[in-house]
Amino acid sequence: MKVLFEFLPILLFFLVYKIAGIYWATSTAIVASLCQFALHWFKRKQIDTLQLITVLCIVLLGGATLSLHNELFIKWKPTAINWTFGLVFLASSVFGKKTLAQRLMESNVKLPHPIWHRLNLSWVLFFVFTGAANLYVVYHFSTEVWVNFKLFGLLGLTLLFVLAQSLYLMKHLKASTPLLSKKEFKHE
């Protein structure tokens, strides 16, 4: 259910685009993102940095699309978000003792320090690649194709990346961390 809530602005953008076009879809995405951000704030009383970046991008680039009546701004949004996320992940490996990947996942996964850095770098490269892929579609295909790519292509690439990363992590988890200790196994 949480995943659906996170993708709600994208799904609404897609549906409204199919019915009413890019400008109504952009307005809908802005409103849905602001509502989503507000609900998150009221529920947790904290601001999630990555969500804040997303909301700022949709408001700024979506607002530019609406005020200048130029769809190119909203088409740049996935690239702006992905490249910003890539910079944040990269900066975390340079500044601080832990990478962002480690901070996000270490409560569930124990890995050696070099593996955390590889994992973090893989996210940086993924964000750079998806940002570039978005621009390729923006400048070489119609808006209709871009909208479909935004929902299905980027989501598909993300799912494939997470699957590949899970397989990579499984290899290192098997080598470094048993799923059950001998003590836990005896109690079953």
Mean pLDDT, the chain, integer: 87
Residue 124 pLDDT level (bands cut at 50, 70, 90)? very high
Residue 173 within a domain: yes
pTM of the model: 0.82
Is pLDDT at 181 greater than 50 in this prediction?
Answer: no
- Give the pLDDT of residue 172: 72
Residue 179 pLDDT level (bands cut at 50, 70, 90)? very low
- Give the pLDDT of residue 50: 79
Dist CA 49 CA 66 (whole Å): 25
Residue 24 within a domain: yes
Residue 188 within a domain: no
Structure tokens at 77: 């949004």
Containing structural domain, residue 98:
2-178
Q: How many structural domains compose the chain?
A: 1
Q: Which of 72-76, 82-86, 104-108, 161-165 has the lowest mean pLDDT?
A: 104-108
Residue 122 within a domain: yes
Residue 167 within a domain: yes
- Give the pLDDT of residue 94: 86
Q: What one-character-per-residue DSSP string does 46-108 give?
A: S--HHHHHHHHHHHHHHHHHHHHT-THHHHHHHHHHHHHHHHHHHHHHHSSSS-HHHHHHTTT
Residue 185 within a domain: no
Q: Which residues contact 17 (CB under 8 A, 6 or more apart)?
A: 24, 25, 147
Residue 187 within a domain: no
Residue 184 within a domain: no
Q: How does pLDDT run across 65-92, given as a tens digit for each residue?
A: 999 999 999 999 999 999 999 999 999 8
Nearest to 13 by CA among 28, 23, 3, 2: 28
